[in-house]
Structure 1
Amino acid sequence: MYRTHNCGELRASHINTEVTLAGWVQKSRDKGFMIWVDLRDRYGITQLIFDEERTPKELMDRAKTLGREFVILVKGSVIERASKNENIRTGNIEVLVSELTILNEAKLPPFTIEDETDGGEDLRMKYRYLDIRRNPVKESLIFRHKVSMEVRKYLSDKGFIDVETPYLIKSTPEGARDFLVPSRMNAGQFYALPQSPQTF
Protein backbone atom coordinates (compact mmCIF):
# COMPACT_ATOMS: atom_id res chain seq x y z
CA MET A 1 0.00 0.00 0.00
CA TYR A 2 1.51 3.31 -1.10
CA ARG A 3 -0.41 5.38 1.41
CA THR A 4 -3.14 5.30 4.00
CA HIS A 5 -3.62 9.08 3.88
CA ASN A 6 -2.64 11.94 1.61
CA CYS A 7 -0.39 14.83 2.63
CA GLY A 8 -3.22 17.30 3.16
CA GLU A 9 -5.42 15.06 5.26
CA LEU A 10 -3.91 14.51 8.72
CA ARG A 11 -5.22 16.51 11.68
CA ALA A 12 -4.88 16.52 15.47
CA SER A 13 -7.57 13.84 15.61
CA HIS A 14 -5.09 11.45 13.94
CA ILE A 15 -2.47 11.73 16.74
CA ASN A 16 -1.10 8.28 17.72
CA THR A 17 -2.29 6.83 14.40
CA GLU A 18 0.15 4.77 12.32
CA VAL A 19 0.15 6.10 8.76
CA THR A 20 1.80 5.55 5.39
CA LEU A 21 2.47 8.58 3.17
CA ALA A 22 4.09 9.05 -0.22
CA GLY A 23 5.09 12.11 -2.20
CA TRP A 24 7.83 14.52 -3.22
CA VAL A 25 10.36 16.05 -0.84
CA GLN A 26 9.56 19.77 -0.80
CA LYS A 27 12.48 20.70 1.45
CA SER A 28 14.65 19.24 4.19
CA ARG A 29 16.09 20.96 7.28
CA ASP A 30 18.97 19.17 9.01
CA LYS A 31 19.89 20.34 12.52
CA GLY A 32 22.23 17.41 13.10
CA PHE A 33 20.31 15.81 15.96
CA MET A 34 16.97 16.33 14.23
CA ILE A 35 15.80 16.40 10.60
CA TRP A 36 12.53 17.85 9.34
CA VAL A 37 11.25 17.00 5.87
CA ASP A 38 8.27 18.62 4.17
CA LEU A 39 6.52 15.90 2.17
CA ARG A 40 4.26 17.13 -0.64
CA ASP A 41 1.65 15.57 -2.87
CA ARG A 42 -1.12 17.25 -4.85
CA TYR A 43 -3.30 17.47 -1.75
CA GLY A 44 -0.93 19.36 0.55
CA ILE A 45 2.19 19.17 2.73
CA THR A 46 2.91 17.12 5.85
CA GLN A 47 5.99 17.61 8.00
CA LEU A 48 8.07 14.53 8.77
CA ILE A 49 10.49 14.34 11.68
CA PHE A 50 13.58 12.21 12.26
CA ASP A 51 14.88 12.50 15.84
CA GLU A 52 18.16 10.86 16.91
CA GLU A 53 16.63 10.04 20.32
CA ARG A 54 13.75 8.12 18.72
CA THR A 55 15.07 7.28 15.25
CA PRO A 56 17.64 4.53 14.48
CA LYS A 57 21.00 5.83 13.23
CA GLU A 58 20.69 4.02 9.89
CA LEU A 59 17.37 5.77 9.26
CA MET A 60 18.84 9.14 10.28
CA ASP A 61 21.72 8.63 7.84
CA ARG A 62 19.34 7.86 4.97
CA ALA A 63 17.19 10.88 5.82
CA LYS A 64 20.29 13.08 5.45
CA THR A 65 20.58 12.02 1.78
CA LEU A 66 17.12 13.27 0.80
CA GLY A 67 17.07 16.05 -1.77
CA ARG A 68 14.39 18.24 -3.31
CA GLU A 69 11.83 16.34 -5.40
CA PHE A 70 12.99 12.90 -4.26
CA VAL A 71 9.98 10.58 -4.34
CA ILE A 72 9.68 8.75 -1.04
CA LEU A 73 7.37 6.50 0.93
CA VAL A 74 7.32 6.70 4.72
CA LYS A 75 5.61 4.94 7.58
CA GLY A 76 5.32 6.43 11.01
CA SER A 77 3.20 7.70 13.86
CA VAL A 78 1.30 10.98 13.91
CA ILE A 79 2.42 13.16 16.83
CA GLU A 80 1.58 16.67 18.01
CA ARG A 81 3.77 19.31 16.47
CA ALA A 82 5.76 21.34 19.00
CA SER A 83 5.92 24.46 16.82
CA LYS A 84 2.57 24.70 15.07
CA ASN A 85 2.14 26.20 11.60
CA GLU A 86 -1.23 27.87 11.08
CA ASN A 87 -0.47 28.48 7.40
CA ILE A 88 -1.08 24.87 6.37
CA ARG A 89 -3.96 22.52 7.15
CA THR A 90 -1.64 19.89 8.66
CA GLY A 91 0.19 22.45 10.79
CA ASN A 92 -0.80 20.94 14.15
CA ILE A 93 0.83 17.56 13.57
CA GLU A 94 3.93 15.88 12.20
CA VAL A 95 4.86 12.28 11.46
CA LEU A 96 7.64 10.58 13.42
CA VAL A 97 9.09 8.33 10.73
CA SER A 98 9.84 4.68 11.48
CA GLU A 99 10.40 3.46 7.90
CA LEU A 100 11.74 5.29 4.85
CA THR A 101 11.78 4.03 1.26
CA ILE A 102 13.31 6.14 -1.51
CA LEU A 103 11.19 5.35 -4.57
CA ASN A 104 13.09 7.64 -6.91
CA GLU A 105 16.01 10.02 -6.55
CA ALA A 106 15.98 13.34 -8.39
CA LYS A 107 18.47 15.85 -9.69
CA LEU A 108 18.33 19.31 -8.15
CA PRO A 109 15.45 21.09 -9.93
CA PRO A 110 16.41 24.10 -12.08
CA PHE A 111 13.96 26.24 -10.08
CA THR A 112 12.11 25.96 -6.78
CA ILE A 113 8.80 24.08 -6.89
CA GLU A 114 6.96 26.68 -4.82
CA ASP A 115 4.16 29.21 -5.30
CA GLU A 116 6.69 32.04 -5.64
CA THR A 117 9.38 30.41 -7.75
CA ASP A 118 12.77 31.75 -8.78
CA GLY A 119 12.40 30.39 -12.33
CA GLY A 120 11.70 32.66 -15.28
CA GLU A 121 8.94 31.85 -17.76
CA ASP A 122 11.28 30.40 -20.41
CA LEU A 123 12.88 28.08 -17.86
CA ARG A 124 9.52 26.98 -16.48
CA MET A 125 8.19 26.25 -19.97
CA LYS A 126 11.28 24.16 -20.74
CA TYR A 127 10.64 22.09 -17.62
CA ARG A 128 6.85 22.22 -17.79
CA TYR A 129 6.51 18.80 -16.16
CA LEU A 130 8.05 20.34 -13.03
CA ASP A 131 6.18 23.64 -13.27
CA ILE A 132 2.76 21.95 -13.13
CA ARG A 133 3.63 20.66 -9.65
CA ARG A 134 3.44 24.23 -8.33
CA ASN A 135 0.14 25.17 -6.67
CA PRO A 136 -0.84 28.08 -8.98
CA VAL A 137 -0.49 25.92 -12.11
CA LYS A 138 -1.90 22.79 -10.48
CA GLU A 139 -4.97 24.64 -9.19
CA SER A 140 -5.61 26.15 -12.63
CA LEU A 141 -5.54 22.68 -14.18
CA ILE A 142 -7.88 21.32 -11.50
CA PHE A 143 -10.27 24.26 -12.01
CA ARG A 144 -10.24 23.70 -15.79
CA HIS A 145 -10.98 20.01 -15.23
CA LYS A 146 -13.92 20.78 -12.93
CA VAL A 147 -15.43 23.32 -15.34
CA SER A 148 -15.04 20.88 -18.24
CA MET A 149 -16.68 18.08 -16.24
CA GLU A 150 -19.62 20.30 -15.22
CA VAL A 151 -20.20 21.43 -18.82
CA ARG A 152 -20.04 17.85 -20.09
CA LYS A 153 -22.37 16.65 -17.32
CA TYR A 154 -24.88 19.43 -18.05
CA LEU A 155 -24.92 18.71 -21.79
CA SER A 156 -25.10 14.95 -21.20
CA ASP A 157 -28.10 15.44 -18.90
CA LYS A 158 -29.74 17.38 -21.73
CA GLY A 159 -29.29 14.45 -24.09
CA PHE A 160 -26.23 15.63 -26.02
CA ILE A 161 -23.57 13.14 -27.14
CA ASP A 162 -19.89 14.06 -26.92
CA VAL A 163 -18.16 13.05 -30.16
CA GLU A 164 -14.47 13.74 -30.76
CA THR A 165 -13.33 13.69 -34.38
CA PRO A 166 -9.78 14.15 -35.69
CA TYR A 167 -8.81 17.60 -36.93
CA LEU A 168 -8.01 17.77 -40.62
CA ILE A 169 -5.92 20.73 -41.78
CA LYS A 170 -3.66 21.78 -44.60
CA SER A 171 -0.29 20.02 -44.46
CA THR A 172 2.49 22.06 -42.84
CA PRO A 173 6.18 21.94 -43.84
CA GLU A 174 7.48 20.63 -40.51
CA GLY A 175 9.68 17.89 -41.90
CA ALA A 176 7.82 15.16 -40.02
CA ARG A 177 5.88 12.41 -41.75
CA ASP A 178 2.25 13.38 -42.44
CA PHE A 179 -0.75 11.11 -42.03
CA LEU A 180 -2.66 12.01 -45.19
CA VAL A 181 -6.40 11.66 -45.82
CA PRO A 182 -7.65 11.90 -49.44
CA SER A 183 -10.25 14.58 -50.08
CA ARG A 184 -13.53 13.18 -51.39
CA MET A 185 -14.56 16.56 -52.76
CA ASN A 186 -11.30 17.49 -54.52
CA ALA A 187 -9.69 14.69 -56.49
CA GLY A 188 -5.92 14.44 -56.12
CA GLN A 189 -5.84 16.60 -52.99
CA PHE A 190 -5.29 15.57 -49.38
CA TYR A 191 -5.87 16.66 -45.81
CA ALA A 192 -3.35 15.98 -43.04
CA LEU A 193 -3.81 15.16 -39.38
CA PRO A 194 -2.31 18.05 -37.38
CA GLN A 195 1.25 17.72 -36.17
CA SER A 196 1.88 21.34 -35.19
CA PRO A 197 0.27 22.52 -31.93
CA GLN A 198 1.24 26.11 -32.79
CA THR A 199 -1.16 25.94 -35.76
CA PHE A 200 -3.99 26.39 -33.27
Structure 2
Amino acid sequence: MARTFNGSTQFLRRAEALSITYPLTLALWVYPQRSNLYEDVLCLARSADNSTGWFLQLRGPDGMKAAAVTAYQNTFAIARSSTTFALNRWCHLAGVFTGASSRMVYLDGVAGSVEGTGLAVPTVDRILIGAWERQGSWMAYFAGYTAEAAVWKVALNAREIAQLASGNSPLLVRPADLVAYWPLGGPFGNDDRDH
Protein backbone atom coordinates (compact mmCIF):
# COMPACT_ATOMS: atom_id res chain seq x y z
CA MET A 1 0.00 0.00 0.00
CA ALA A 2 1.10 3.55 -0.67
CA ARG A 3 -0.28 7.05 -1.25
CA THR A 4 -1.30 7.68 -4.86
CA PHE A 5 -0.81 11.06 -6.60
CA ASN A 6 -2.51 11.78 -9.94
CA GLY A 7 0.09 14.24 -11.25
CA SER A 8 -2.30 17.16 -11.67
CA THR A 9 -4.24 18.04 -8.50
CA GLN A 10 -3.20 15.83 -5.58
CA PHE A 11 -0.66 16.69 -2.88
CA LEU A 12 -0.18 16.66 0.88
CA ARG A 13 0.68 19.80 2.85
CA ARG A 14 1.34 20.36 6.51
CA ALA A 15 1.85 23.97 7.58
CA GLU A 16 3.55 24.70 10.88
CA ALA A 17 6.60 26.48 12.23
CA LEU A 18 9.55 24.13 11.72
CA SER A 19 12.79 24.73 13.57
CA ILE A 20 14.86 22.71 11.10
CA THR A 21 18.35 23.68 10.03
CA TYR A 22 21.53 21.93 8.94
CA PRO A 23 22.30 19.10 8.98
CA LEU A 24 19.18 17.25 7.79
CA THR A 25 18.10 14.28 5.68
CA LEU A 26 14.95 13.76 3.61
CA ALA A 27 13.98 10.29 2.35
CA LEU A 28 11.08 8.35 0.86
CA TRP A 29 10.09 5.60 -1.57
CA VAL A 30 8.58 6.61 -4.92
CA TYR A 31 7.01 4.80 -7.86
CA PRO A 32 7.11 7.33 -10.72
CA GLN A 33 4.64 6.91 -13.57
CA ARG A 34 5.75 9.73 -15.89
CA SER A 35 8.79 11.82 -16.69
CA ASN A 36 8.10 15.56 -16.69
CA LEU A 37 10.45 18.50 -16.52
CA TYR A 38 10.65 17.97 -12.78
CA GLU A 39 8.34 16.55 -10.14
CA ASP A 40 8.66 17.36 -6.46
CA VAL A 41 8.15 14.42 -4.17
CA LEU A 42 9.16 15.78 -0.73
CA CYS A 43 9.75 19.44 0.15
CA LEU A 44 10.43 21.59 3.18
CA ALA A 45 9.54 25.11 2.10
CA ARG A 46 8.76 28.66 3.25
CA SER A 47 5.33 30.12 2.54
CA ALA A 48 6.48 33.77 2.38
CA ASP A 49 9.01 32.93 -0.31
CA ASN A 50 8.00 29.89 -2.32
CA SER A 51 11.47 29.56 -3.86
CA THR A 52 13.19 28.82 -0.56
CA GLY A 53 13.66 25.42 1.08
CA TRP A 54 14.93 21.88 0.61
CA PHE A 55 13.49 19.56 -2.05
CA LEU A 56 13.70 16.00 -3.35
CA GLN A 57 12.85 15.86 -7.06
CA LEU A 58 12.67 13.55 -10.04
CA ARG A 59 14.01 15.26 -13.18
CA GLY A 60 13.10 13.76 -16.56
CA PRO A 61 15.07 16.01 -18.95
CA ASP A 62 18.20 15.56 -16.81
CA GLY A 63 18.28 11.95 -18.00
CA MET A 64 15.84 10.46 -15.48
CA LYS A 65 17.86 11.64 -12.49
CA ALA A 66 16.91 12.23 -8.88
CA ALA A 67 17.90 15.52 -7.25
CA ALA A 68 18.43 17.04 -3.82
CA VAL A 69 17.86 20.78 -4.07
CA THR A 70 18.57 23.68 -1.74
CA ALA A 71 16.78 26.87 -2.77
CA TYR A 72 17.07 30.37 -1.41
CA GLN A 73 15.06 33.22 -2.96
CA ASN A 74 15.09 31.82 -6.50
CA THR A 75 18.69 30.59 -6.41
CA PHE A 76 18.92 26.81 -6.70
CA ALA A 77 21.77 24.43 -5.85
CA ILE A 78 21.02 21.01 -7.35
CA ALA A 79 22.79 17.73 -6.58
CA ARG A 80 21.92 15.09 -9.20
CA SER A 81 22.08 11.32 -8.91
CA SER A 82 24.80 9.36 -10.67
CA THR A 83 22.30 6.62 -11.56
CA THR A 84 18.87 6.85 -13.21
CA PHE A 85 15.36 5.96 -12.16
CA ALA A 86 12.90 3.96 -14.27
CA LEU A 87 9.19 4.52 -14.68
CA ASN A 88 6.72 2.08 -13.09
CA ARG A 89 9.28 0.75 -10.61
CA TRP A 90 9.83 1.51 -6.91
CA CYS A 91 12.98 3.43 -6.06
CA HIS A 92 14.32 4.98 -2.89
CA LEU A 93 15.33 8.66 -2.74
CA ALA A 94 17.33 10.40 -0.03
CA GLY A 95 18.78 13.88 0.16
CA VAL A 96 21.51 14.61 2.71
CA PHE A 97 22.12 18.29 3.43
CA THR A 98 25.19 18.55 5.67
CA GLY A 99 25.58 22.33 5.49
CA ALA A 100 24.86 25.49 3.53
CA SER A 101 27.37 24.46 0.84
CA SER A 102 26.99 20.67 0.81
CA ARG A 103 24.17 18.50 -0.50
CA MET A 104 24.01 15.00 -1.98
CA VAL A 105 21.26 12.82 -3.37
CA TYR A 106 21.06 9.03 -3.16
CA LEU A 107 19.02 6.94 -5.60
CA ASP A 108 18.45 3.36 -4.44
CA GLY A 109 21.30 3.77 -1.96
CA VAL A 110 23.81 4.94 -4.60
CA ALA A 111 25.35 8.34 -3.87
CA GLY A 112 25.66 11.08 -6.44
CA SER A 113 28.41 13.67 -6.21
CA VAL A 114 28.44 16.39 -3.56
CA GLU A 115 27.12 19.74 -4.83
CA GLY A 116 28.84 22.64 -3.07
CA THR A 117 27.14 25.93 -3.98
CA GLY A 118 26.87 28.06 -0.85
CA LEU A 119 23.40 29.42 -0.06
CA ALA A 120 21.86 31.08 2.99
CA VAL A 121 20.07 28.80 5.45
CA PRO A 122 16.42 28.35 4.44
CA THR A 123 13.72 29.01 7.03
CA VAL A 124 10.75 26.71 6.41
CA ASP A 125 7.19 26.52 7.66
CA ARG A 126 5.58 23.69 5.71
CA ILE A 127 6.12 20.19 4.45
CA LEU A 128 4.85 19.21 1.00
CA ILE A 129 4.55 15.78 -0.59
CA GLY A 130 3.59 15.35 -4.23
CA ALA A 131 3.84 18.96 -5.48
CA TRP A 132 5.44 22.36 -4.95
CA GLU A 133 3.61 25.54 -4.06
CA ARG A 134 5.15 28.63 -5.66
CA GLN A 135 3.70 32.09 -5.20
CA GLY A 136 0.24 30.75 -4.44
CA SER A 137 0.14 28.34 -7.39
CA TRP A 138 0.71 24.60 -7.31
CA MET A 139 3.15 23.07 -9.76
CA ALA A 140 5.67 20.23 -10.24
CA TYR A 141 2.99 17.67 -9.42
CA PHE A 142 4.15 14.09 -8.95
CA ALA A 143 2.40 11.21 -10.75
CA GLY A 144 2.78 7.88 -9.01
CA TYR A 145 2.99 6.43 -5.53
CA THR A 146 4.93 7.42 -2.41
CA ALA A 147 5.57 5.68 0.89
CA GLU A 148 7.73 5.93 3.99
CA ALA A 149 8.49 9.67 3.86
CA ALA A 150 10.78 10.84 6.66
CA VAL A 151 12.89 13.78 7.85
CA TRP A 152 15.88 13.58 10.20
CA LYS A 153 17.72 16.42 11.97
CA VAL A 154 21.08 14.83 11.13
CA ALA A 155 23.04 13.94 8.01
CA LEU A 156 22.58 10.19 7.68
CA ASN A 157 25.69 8.38 6.47
CA ALA A 158 25.98 6.08 3.44
CA ARG A 159 25.45 2.93 5.53
CA GLU A 160 22.23 4.32 7.02
CA ILE A 161 20.93 5.39 3.61
CA ALA A 162 21.70 1.87 2.34
CA GLN A 163 19.66 0.44 5.23
CA LEU A 164 16.67 2.56 4.18
CA ALA A 165 17.12 1.66 0.51
CA SER A 166 17.16 -2.05 1.41
CA GLY A 167 13.75 -1.71 3.06
CA ASN A 168 14.42 -0.90 6.70
CA SER A 169 11.82 1.29 8.39
CA PRO A 170 12.80 4.92 9.09
CA LEU A 171 11.80 4.14 12.69
CA LEU A 172 14.88 1.91 12.94
CA VAL A 173 17.44 4.38 11.55
CA ARG A 174 18.57 6.96 14.11
CA PRO A 175 15.12 7.10 15.73
CA ALA A 176 16.19 9.76 18.27
CA ASP A 177 16.92 12.14 15.36
CA LEU A 178 13.80 11.38 13.32
CA VAL A 179 11.65 14.54 13.40
CA ALA A 180 8.85 13.53 11.02
CA TYR A 181 7.62 10.24 9.57
CA TRP A 182 4.64 9.47 7.34
CA PRO A 183 4.13 5.81 6.41
CA LEU A 184 1.60 6.89 3.74
CA GLY A 185 0.22 3.39 3.80
CA GLY A 186 3.66 1.85 3.38
CA PRO A 187 4.71 -1.53 4.77
CA PHE A 188 5.54 -0.20 8.25
CA GLY A 189 2.20 1.49 8.98
CA ASN A 190 -1.27 2.15 7.66
CA ASP A 191 -1.90 5.74 8.64
CA ASP A 192 -0.40 9.14 7.96
CA ARG A 193 0.08 10.57 11.43
CA ASP A 194 3.28 12.32 12.37
CA HIS A 195 5.95 10.46 14.28
TM-score when scaled to structure 2?
0.25
Greater relative contact order (Cα < 8 A, sep 6+): 2
Structure that is richer in helix per residue: 1
Max Rg structure: 1
TM-score when scaled to structure 1?
0.25
Structure that is richer in strand per residue: 2
